[in-house]
Structure 1
């Protein structure tokens, strides 16, 4: 085959290669992992390549150049907290809190993870099981393991999915996933299922597709195993005085919450920080730099990020959980109208900052905390007030 674009490939020939690869390459590895012929055959019965999935590189073809993408991080981060998403996750979450009170209380006692946090993750991942999970897991994982830009990763996940089917937790044809291969209501990748899925209803199986109790127990186990600190909150929205620079953001610049309070940082609620939190470590978080709400977060915030590596995701979960249990309102500070940049714009800024000695966490086009504070340090070095978030004016000054 030639090296042309994806859609010029002879699909029938690639399909034949796929079936040969399954039998000659994947089956021996699956067999070594304890998968029976019956399970393997059931998993791939009728399965063909899904050519609609993203990031495919069929044999003999060159990867297509990446498209420029707009992402929520680079519009106003406030878009992530749109009215419908926040209110929907909150209102249904309150219903689920009443419906599953006994299971939620039990899992919270067992894991130390507050039930409101478990609910908020469940709501964000699958709208409490109401979002359709449409794809056949073996079609998705087989396609991506055979011809994606991360084939090695998906090969491991494919073997893990076969082990799940072998254990009888779900029939092969009932294993539904997202387009990325994430399974069930908590959206676990198969390897995470093997580590963290739990039987919450006592029937002997961890059914994260149709059992709400199993879903609740599995999310709690995941967070517990990732280091959730019992008794600590996830964080607090705060007022940060102008004299405290946004360049102090980040999990590597922690101080005790008492020390942050001594610098004049206060909760927007007007209440003092809880006494039991004062000696614990906290970290500044400016998800939109000085253009939006600010927070002091705890190590538990970064446990939430282990579930999905996004500041906005972790913030959404913490915020919605608080709304469900405590009835809190919107953030006190508004989100500024920042954004209008492409990922490639941010990457160009990162490369310039790197050339000047800043640690931006890699020129990946993602405006994480290292990039945000590097922008702030660059601004301060110029004698400007730090805003710590990429915008067109900063790009024009940096990238010439």
Structure 2
């Protein structure tokens, strides 16, 4: 029987490794201290002059930023003196079916939570709908989606997050604007310094408003003279409604309807820039699922075709209110989630009638390559970002039609191969 040979490192190797570990342990704190020194100089020499010019007091500035150090654990940071790193090709980032966004575990929790809160908040929601015209179930759906009806813990110091990102994030100009807005919030006495808690992205309170959105849309609805989107349910709910109204919510209109689109109607007609009256869509043969007619009051109003998975999923005729929901989070799927969850809170757990197709094994890099191929052919895909928004979807449909294929308006392995 052979005996396994054990190889032990030499004493010299052990000593070298020990010294290396000790050196690395010294370098990290030194680098952090260096960044902190640069950060403090930036606060006083760069940020403070602008804050002063915008009318923020030195007392507020010093109190808000006292003791703040850069949080180097936050994402999307660029070390001082370095250039942003070019993202690596993310072959590992799988592109999945849009149906994953509507997992019953997620949307079921939002809808059940919303229905559970309807009775206790009925009076407040009725008053909000009377003032703003936004239905209570829609407001509840956003509240539930954003922070689980306030259950999500906002454990970050907003000034630490915003200060770090304004100093060294990939989008530091945007965060500089948000940091100055946060200082303005405290300087105006709208919120105490201690109450400025946020997400890791700097979003405030239960509605998850960035500071600029707080200043524009947050309202006092409980009558205590200040908007409290951290602790006051009436203020949280009314501020969400205020946000939607400020972005153009149309009172009395729904967000949209699930529909059946006949094969003769091209999926390339999708998009907010290709609107028709709902009567015109109906004239093309598009019908509501379940056999219900479109509301009479909607027939002369404009609607838009939405097919988030092309022919591989449910289809909708949406109203301008859908695109107002999208202002809360620039995603078709987010806006659809909110509209659908609101319907379920109001009317019960009726799911989409059509299922979502299986995409197969594709990656975001595959989708981006396909988008670049379409761009070379002159199609407007919006952005070659690996995410097929409505411009990409309808460009796929137009290319398919031009090349004698059945228009599906959604990527698949064959399309990726053909358009690379």
TM-score bucket of the superposed structures, by smaller chain: over 0.9
- Could you give the per-residue CA deviations for residues 13-49 of structure 1, whole angstroms, max 9, x where no partner exists? 1110001111111122222223222222221122111
Distance (Å, rounded) in 1 between the aligned partners of 2:130 and 2:192: 31
Mapping of residues 137-286 of structure 1, within 5 Å: 137-286=158-307
Distance (Å, rounded) in 2 between the aligned partners of 1:272 and 1:180: 43
Distance (Å, rounded) in 1 between the aligned partners of 2:142 and 2:400: 36
Displacement of 1:70 in angstroms is 6.8
Displacement of 1:328 in angstroms is 4.4
Mapping of residues 276-315 of structure 1, within 5 Å: 276-315=297-336
What secondary structure is seen at the aligned counterpart in 2 of 1:252? coil
Question: 2:371 maps to what in 1?
Answer: 350
Distance (Å, rounded) in 2 between the aligned partners of 1:62 and 1:155: 18
Question: 1:3 maps to what in 2?
Answer: none
- Could you give the per-residue CA deviations for residues 200-227 of structure 1, whole angstroms, max 9, x where no partner exists? 1010111111111111111111100100
- Worse-matched range after superposition: 38-47 or 277-286: 38-47
Distance (Å, rounded) in 2 between the aligned partners of 1:301 and 1:211: 27
What secondary structure is seen at the aligned counterpart in 1 of 2:290? coil
Unpaired runs of 5+ residues, structure 2, are: 1-27
TM-score (norm 2): 0.90
Runs of 4+ in 1 over 3 A off after TM superposition: 69-72
Among 354, 358, 362, the alignment partner of 1:337 is: 358
Aligned length in residues: 392
Distance (Å, rounded) in 2 between the aligned partners of 1:309 and 1:218: 19
Distance (Å, rounded) in 1 between the aligned partners of 2:30 and 2:399: 48
What secondary structure is seen at the aligned counterpart in 1 of 2:337? helix
- Could you give the per-residue CA deviations for residues 143-181 of structure 1, whole angstroms, max 9, x where no partner exists? 110011111111010000011111222222321111111
What secondary structure is seen at the aligned counterpart in 1 of 2:313? coil
TM-score (norm 1): 0.95
- Worse-matched range after superposition: 40-49 or 115-124: 40-49
What secondary structure is seen at the aligned counterpart in 1 of 2:183? helix
Displacement of 1:61 in angstroms is 1.1
What secondary structure is seen at the aligned counterpart in 1 of 2:258? strand
Cα RMSD, aligned residues only: 1.6
What secondary structure is seen at the aligned counterpart in 2 of 1:100? helix
Distance (Å, rounded) in 2 between the aligned partners of 1:202 and 1:164: 19
- Could you give the per-residue CA deviations for residues 81-134 of structure 1, whole angstroms, max 9, x where no partner exists? 111111110111012211111111111111111111111111111111111112
Displacement of 1:8 in angstroms is 11
Work out whether residues 70 and 341 of structure 1, in 8 Å CA contact, stay in contact via their aligned partners in 2.
no
What secondary structure is seen at the aligned counterpart in 1 of 2:252? coil
Work out whether residues 9 and 58 of structure 1, in 8 Å CA contact, stay in contact via their aligned partners in 2.
no
Bigger radius of gyration among the two? 2
Work out whether residues 44 and 138 of structure 1, in 8 Å CA contact, stay in contact via their aligned partners in 2.
yes
What secondary structure is seen at the aligned counterpart in 2 of 1:164? helix
Displacement of 1:77 in angstroms is 0.6
What secondary structure is seen at the aligned counterpart in 2 of 1:290? helix
Question: 1:117 maps to what in 2?
Answer: 138
Distance (Å, rounded) in 2 between the aligned partners of 1:175 and 1:250: 39
What secondary structure is seen at the aligned counterpart in 2 of 1:283? strand
Unpaired runs of 5+ residues, structure 1, are: 1-6
